[in-house]
Structure 1
Amino acid sequence: MQDLNHDLVVIGGGIIGVTCAWQLIQKGYKVLLLEKDDIGQGASFGNAGHIATEQVLPLASPAILRQLPRMLLDPQGPLRLDWRYLPQIAPWLLKLVANMRPQAQRNSSAGLRLLNEASLSAWQKLLQQAGLSKLLKADGSLLVCESESAFDDLYQHQRVLEALGVTAESWPGQHLHQQVSGLTPKIKGGLFFPDTAHVIDPYQLVVKLFKQAIAAGMEQLQAEVHGGRCLDNGIELNTSKGKLFAKRVLVASGAWSAPLVKELAGIKVPLDTERGYHLMLPSETHRLPMAVSSLERKFIMTPMEAGLRLAGTVEFAGLERAPDYRRAQGLVRHADALFSQPLDIKDATPWMGCRPSLPDSLPVIDRVGPQGRLLLAFGHHHLGLTQAAVTAQLMLSLVSGTPPELDITPFRLARFGQLPPSHTFNNSVCLPGS
């Protein structure tokens, strides 16, 4: 067994793992990153690129129950459940239903707001330090509606968000079309979110942060982690490259995190996956000045350096089933309906990725095990990009033993049940190099 001379081993080469590793490297920690595939090839490769600070409402809502029959029958709907996956996801769905209770929804919204309101400034600070500010466009985003009948829903949504502390400006049709030309006159109005942003190349963001971390001394090993165990003096990892012994380990493996946590800590986490799709239109590089989403159609269009990205839909079908790229191709029909002129779909490319989802729509940001040596950062569902920088700040606090700037209580693993006594710890004992 190889005894690693590192302060921390990060498992996961997506936006969460890489951003956490980058943050720790800047503070002088010795970090090894383990990833079985190429860096940034999971959900981080194809996300919508939207820094979605306005999205503070949990997935769990009574509307989900009303949509269940359609979810099972409509393969192209914005929210779909593959009926073949129903037996596996049934326990997760029951927990989702439990989180539809009013108090549970309030707790989820409060937790999402806590992270999201710090997310944009965290990204701006990190990217400035990294010299990558040009990758972020803080131009706000727009939510549009097409019908007069949707106005009530739109402004009710605005009232709900403002009650949660989200700034949303009402844009009537004339003002909206002055600000964003080329949209169809059928769009009657929208909500502008000034405190949002978008990334012009999410994949390059991960790659550039990874390369900077390597240049600063981080090491990488391309290996799959099959399991391991927590010991009093460290953590043993079973990998495709043999056994490794680490002082501390951060699990940031996205939708693949739950088996690792079960193996390492004996804790069962109710994690499943939302499969998201996008269609990239490389010929549409100047169509929009900001990200635009549709209230009725439930998808988003984000302008990027390489074209216009159409993204959206939630599909529950597990990690193994092959993608149904009809869901990506179908986004063109919805996007065309929002423009006066049809989109150029030449050389369009579809993509599907698995986003880690917990039934309360909150991530796990925590540390458990003897002396808190096992750190956890996963379950950010479709807000992984949004919350990555603030998660990295919180992880630095957990590693260093300093009080975090945000209360991480809503994100602790204990919310899913009482942890065994061996997994409790005191915040003061996990010091650098311990």
Structure 2
Amino acid sequence: MKTNPMKINAGTPDSVNQQVIVIGAGVIGLANAVTLARRGFKVTVIDKEGVAAGASFGNAGHFATEQVFPLADPSLLPKLPKMLLDPLGPFRIRPAYFHRALPWFVRFIVNMMPARRQHNGNAIKALNARSMAATKELLTFCGRADLLVENGSLLVFETQDPRVMEQELALYNDAGIAVRLLSGDEARALEPDLSDAISGALWFTEVGHTPNPRAICEALADTLKALGGRIEIDSVCSLQGGNTPSVTTETGKVTKADKLLLCAGAWSRPLALKLGHRVPLETERGYHLMMPQHSGLKRPVASYERKFIITPMEDGTRLAGTVEFGGLNAPMSNARADCLLPHARVLLPKVFATARVSEGKRWMGFRPSLPDSLPVLGESQTPGVYFAFGHQHLGLTWAASSAELLGQLICGETPSIDLSPYCVKRFD
């Protein structure tokens, strides 16, 4: 691990030698931990499984700054019944879990209202604006700038109706996204193995991907240790704020600090409740199928019709993109991972024509999602405790930029953007 000591922030009188506990060793927690350590804090990260054990390991590896539209889209309403009941559809709720998820979906529908949707979209854009630059700076500091590949991404279409592509192009243009409309031949000029069935594509030119999401977390963890931080594997069962915040783990250990930052992803809801915050956090169960074949792709390729994404990785090709509501305890559905391979065969027939599911590795992880598509960032109502969780599909994208904002806030500086849209009090 190589760091540039000239870029380690000198800290402030309020930060030097203060103790901070960060709960969560995913990409959000580790990015915050390194950012705070650079500011002079003595940081301890506590996680029940260790570095990148969840969604930070299995995500699609896409820095998706083109995704500026809240998930609560009114156009989904007529499609929801079919989507939710289809066991292999891109968006599904397990029937036995429907009553548990219903309050979340009610809030989700409320966020489809035009004013709410515009507000939430603006807040997404604000976080996206600094994300690529912040990611590049953080990875460069960790000596792993190679883990960010900036070749953009493609959204490919199979439809023969040019109006569909033009309408999508107009939406992204209106949102200020850097995008180009390509013909099928132009898309194949970028990615020669794409199927002849591809009629066109949107090329998002200012986004990126990583060939190894786990390696990003490992680089952050190594950097944290080099800065004097620690990572402990233990389960937090309770926490307390005040002048001396503390956490108690299942082993009975009590750790006290000057500041406490909750970054526990899908497991943040019960811990926030212990501080009096009823956060409507729901768990999206995301799937991937990791295939050993190297696709030859230079960038992620998402399908407009099939609602999944293909990302080139160091050790093969990752197929990802389905969403299932089913909580934290239900077993994974192998079929939801397996169904991704037939889609990949259509888009990349030369690569996957003879591939078998048995060659790949299935994975399921938990995305922490809130009904307005915004994370919780900022102070809790309890002094000394801060929140950074609920980053839904954009945890990798927002990790560095949200860590910048929390670092500014915890050090008493004015954050670079207004944090009120992400405040936990919005759910009161």
Q: TM-score range by the shorter chain?
A: over 0.9
Query: Does 1:176 find its partner at 2:154?
Result: no
Partners of 1:185 and 1:220 in 2: CA distance: 49
Query: Aligned residue for 1:329?
Result: 338
- Cα pair 1:281 1:307 within 8 Å, conserved: yes
Q: Could you tell me how far 1:49 is from its partner in structure 2?
A: 0.0
Q: Could you tell me how far 1:289 is from its partner in structure 2?
A: 1.1
- Cα pair 2:295 2:351 within 8 Å, conserved: no
User: Which runs of structure 2 are paired with 1:12-91 in the superposition (5 Å)?
Assistant: 12-91=24-103
- Of 61-70 and 284-293, the range deviating more from structure 2: 61-70
Partners of 2:228 and 2:351 in 1: CA distance: 48
User: Which runs of structure 2 are paired with 1:333-344 in the superposition (5 Å)?
Assistant: 333-343=342-352, 344=355
Superposed CA deviations along residues 93-123 of structure 1, whole A, max 9, x for unmatched, are 1100110101111111111111112111111
Counterpart of 2:105 (choices 80, 93, 101) is 93
Query: Aligned residue for 2:395?
Result: 384
Query: Does 1:237 find its partner at 2:237?
Result: no
Under a length normalisation based on structure 1, what TM-score does the superposition of the two structures give? Answer: 0.91
Partners of 2:239 and 2:193 in 1: CA distance: 55
Query: Aligned residue for 1:210?
Result: 221
Superposed CA deviations along residues 375-416 of structure 1, whole A, max 9, x for unmatched, are 100000010001001011011101111111122121111211
- Of 65-74 and 51-60, the range deviating more from structure 2: 65-74
Partners of 2:141 and 2:272 in 1: CA distance: 32
Query: Aligned residue for 1:222?
Result: 233
- Cα pair 1:6 1:32 within 8 Å, conserved: no
Superposed CA deviations along residues 190-219 of structure 1, whole A, max 9, x for unmatched, are 100011000110011101210121121001
Please tell me the root mean square deviation across aligned C-alpha atoms, in Å.
Answer: 1.4
Under a length normalisation based on structure 2, what TM-score does the superposition of the two structures give? Answer: 0.93
SS in 2 for 1:360: coil
- Cα pair 1:154 1:295 within 8 Å, conserved: no
- Cα pair 1:10 1:17 within 8 Å, conserved: yes
- Cα pair 2:20 2:41 within 8 Å, conserved: yes
Partners of 1:39 and 1:182 in 2: CA distance: 35
SS in 1 for 2:70: coil
Superposed CA deviations along residues 343-377 of structure 1, whole A, max 9, x for unmatched, are 13463101011000000000011112344x11100
Partners of 2:95 and 2:134 in 1: CA distance: 40
- Cα pair 1:185 1:340 within 8 Å, conserved: no
Partners of 1:221 and 1:48 in 2: CA distance: 27
Partners of 1:6 and 1:325 in 2: CA distance: 46
Superposed CA deviations along residues 141-175 of structure 1, whole A, max 9, x for unmatched, are 000001113x3232212211221211111111221
Partners of 2:271 and 2:184 in 1: CA distance: 50
Query: Aligned residue for 1:430?
Result: none
One-letter amino acid of the counterpart of residue 10, structure 1: V
Query: Aligned residue for 2:7?
Result: none
SS in 2 for 1:341: helix
SS in 1 for 2:362: strand
Q: Could you tell me how far 1:244 is from its partner in structure 2?
A: 2.6
Partners of 2:76 and 2:19 in 1: CA distance: 44
Q: Could you tell me how far 1:18 is from its partner in structure 2?
A: 0.6
Query: Aligned residue for 1:428?
Result: none
Runs of 4+ residues over 3 Å off in structure 1: none
Partners of 2:325 and 2:164 in 1: CA distance: 26
Structure 1 spans left out of the alignment, 5+ residues: 418-434
One-letter amino acid of the counterpart of residue 275, structure 1: R
- Cα pair 2:193 2:351 within 8 Å, conserved: no
Give aligned pairs, total: 408
